[in-house]
Chain A
C-alpha cells in the first residue's frame, strides 16, 4: 500500500537539497567559533545559511539569530522582552500561549482572525509599553492573520509586534517590513529542513534579552555552539522554497469534493494553500485518524505537539466551535512532495469513512 503523508504541518520530509547540505556538513568537522581552517569553513557555511534565511523574510543577515527551533524562537521573543506587557491572539501556538503567564488574550472571529477592535481596546487600556504576538498563519487551520493591519494599530501605541511565521514560511509572501513585524520566528523542519533548528529575526538594535547565556554566539542573544549541519540544512531548505509548486489547487480539490458534507474551518478567510481543517459530524477525530491510517493516509487531529492529549483544540474553540465539534476535526496539511493523486485517495477515504460512520449511519442505527 502506498503511504500518503498529509501531515506536513507537524513536520515535513527533508528536501533533498537540505539533506545534501546536512550530509556534507556532518562529514566535516569544525566549530564555527574556532579560528583555524576548520572553524572558518564552518563559519562560512553558517554565513551562507544566514543570508538565505534573512532573504526569506527580507531581513539583513545580521538580524538572524539561530535557535533550536520555533518553540525556542517564540519563547526568546516573548521572554526576552519580559519588561513589556504581552498581548497574544487566542489561536497562537502553544509555545506562544505558554511562554509567559502574564499574557493577555485577544479574541478572534469565527474565521479565526484577530479582532482588530478588541486589539485596539486592549492596547488603549494601559499606557505600559506592550508587545503583540500574532502568528502569520495558523498551524491547525492555515488561516492568515491580518498582521500588517494589526501592526499598524500597534504602531499608534508604540507596541512591538512579534510574528510567529513558522507555518507561513514558504507558503505566503513574508517580508517582515511589509508585515510591520519587529520580530519573526521561523523553524526549519516545517519547510523541508531538519528538526532542531530555527531562527528569530530581530533587529540588531533591539533591547531583547537572551534566555541562554554563555559563549556569546549569535550576537550574544543565543549562546551555544551553532548547530552547523542543522543551520546548513535550514539554509538549503530555504533555497528550495521557490521551486515548490502551489498547493492550493490540490487542497481546494479536496474541499470541493467533500465540502457539502464537511465543515471546513476558516474557509471564509484567506488561508495558506496547504492546510485544511476538516470537521466530520458525528465522528471523533481519533476515530477518523485511525481509519485513515488503515488506508495508509497520515493526517492529524490537531497540532502534533498536543497529539495524544484529549483536550479539544483551543484554536477551534476560540473560533466558536463546541467541544464536540472541535473533537471531530482533523487537519490535512500538504507539502513539497504532495500530488494530486494524494488528494484523490484522501477524498475517496474520507467519503468511505463518512458513509460508514457519518451522521446518516448514526441516525439509521
Chain B
C-alpha cells in the first residue's frame, strides 16, 4: 500500500509553503531571461520593460485586497512586511503614542517585532485567545487606550487556520481612532479580503503562501487615513522611500500573477478544499478514537486541519509516514523542541500539543492524495498505539477502546 519509492511523497504542508503555480512560473520566467532589466533603470528599454511589469503586478496585488496600486509596497516577504509595519509605526509615533495591542497566537515575526518595540520603550497588550482560537472583541475594546497607536491581529492563524473577524476588529479600531495592521500571509488568495470594507490600514502578505515564489511579499499601507511608517532600511529610495533596494522584477511579476490567480480561485477553490478537508477529518474520526480538533471548525480556512491524536507523538507519526509531508506546528519552529505556543494558548496540554499534526491542503492536492494520506495515517497511528499497548504503556485512549 505504501507508494512506490520513486514517487514523490504527498504534500500536505501548504501552510509552510506552496508549490509555484505553473502559470506563475510562465509569467515570471521571461523576466529571468530576455526581459532581465533593472526596473529602476530609467534610461533604456530594458528598464522600462521591467518597470511596466512591476507596475502591472502592483495593480494585481492591489486588486486582490481591494487597495489602490499606490498603497502597495513590495518587500522580501511577510516577515519583512510585519517587521516594517510594527517597527515602522512604533518608531514613527514614538514618544506620542507608545502602546500596541496584539494577541498571543500571532506569528513569531510579529511577536518578535513587538518584543523589540517593548525593548525600545513601547508597551504591548497581548490578548488571549479562546479554545476556539478567536480573540474576544470586548477584551480588544478594553485594551485600547488613548496611548494606543496600533492593533495588530493576524487574519488567518498559521497553525490552526482560524480566521479572526477582521471586519468587526476594523470597525472597532476605526471607531477608536487606532491603526489596524494584519498579518494576512495565510489569508490572501484563500478568503476574500477587502482592506477598505474591513478598515484595515496595514496588511502584510507573501507570495509563497499562495502559489508564488519565496522571496517576495508586499505591505499594504493605506492612504485614508494616512499611515506613516519609518522605513526599516534606506538607500536608493525605491518604493517611495518606504523600502530601498532593487525591486526583483521577476518576483514582483510572480506575486502579481499569483494575486490574479488567487482572486479568481476564490470562486471555487475554497469549496473544493473544504470538502476534501472535511473528508479527511471524517475518515480520521471514524477510524481513530481519541482525536481532538484544535480550534473552531466554523472559523477556519478551508485548507486547514489541525488535530491531536491522543497517545502518540506527532514526530513518531511523521517518522512512520514519510510518504506524506505534514507538520507539527509552524515551519519556522519545526526544528525546535518546544511544543507549539499557539496550541498551548488555546488550552492544550503539553502532551496533546506534542501529538498534533497540521494539515495544509492546497490548489494541487487531489482527492486521491487525501484518501491515501488518510489510509496511511489511520494504519500507522493504530499501529503506534498498539505497540504502546503491547509494551504495557497505559494510555487513556487504549483503555477506552477496550
**Residue positions of A touching B, CB distance < 8 A:** 3, 5, 7, 10-14, 19, 22-23, 26-31, 33-39, 67-72, 74-76, 79, 93-96, 98-99, 187, 189, 194-197, 211-217, 223-230, 233, 286, 289-290, 293, 298-301, 303-308
Contacts and interface: CB of A to CB of B under 8 A. Distances in A.
Given A11-B37, A212-B79, 14 more contacts: A10-B40, A26-B28, A29-B18, A34-B16, A213-B113, A214-B79, A215-B333, A225-B79, A227-B77, A228-B214, A228-B215, A230-B214, A303-B236, A307-B41
B16 A14 contact: no
Contacts of B43: 7, 286, 289-290, 293, 298-301, 307
Contacts of B251: 194-196, 230
Contact of A298 (B44, B206, B330): B44
B349 interface: no
A37 B234 contact: no
A293 B47 CA distance: 12
B245 A27 contact: no
13 contacts: A23-B32, A26-B20, A33-B16, A33-B332, A68-B80, A211-B83, A213-B112, A214-B110, A214-B112, A214-B332, A225-B17, A226-B214, A305-B246
Given A5-B46, A304-B38, A307-B47, A71 B246 contact: yes
Given A7-B41, A26-B25, A39-B334, A305 B16 contact: no
Nearest to A96: B235
Most buried by A among B9, B232, B250: B250
Contact of A72 (B25, B82, B233): B233
B108 A75 contact: no
Interface stretch (B95-103, B289-297, B299-307, B321-329): B321-329
A228 B215 CA distance: 8
A217 B334 contact: no
B99 to A, nearest CB: 20
Contacts of B33: 13-14, 19
Contacts of B322: 36-37
Nearest to A231: B215
Contacts of A227: 76-77, 213-216
Interface string B1-33: 000000001010100111110000100110011
A217 B335 CA distance: 11
A19 B45 contact: no
B377 interface: no
Contacts of B80: 68, 212, 224
B65 interface: no
B350 interface: no
A224 B79 contact: yes
Contacts of A187: 246
B215 A74 contact: no
B78 to A, nearest CB: 8
A69 B238 CA distance: 13
A44 to B, nearest CB: 15
A34 B244 contact: no
Contact of A23 (B29, B44, B249, B326): B29
B122 interface: no
Contact of A27 (B20, B78, B247): B20
B234 A98 contact: yes
A298 B38 CA distance: 12
B42 interface: yes
Contact of B109 (A35, A213, A228, A298): A213
A284 to B, nearest CB: 12
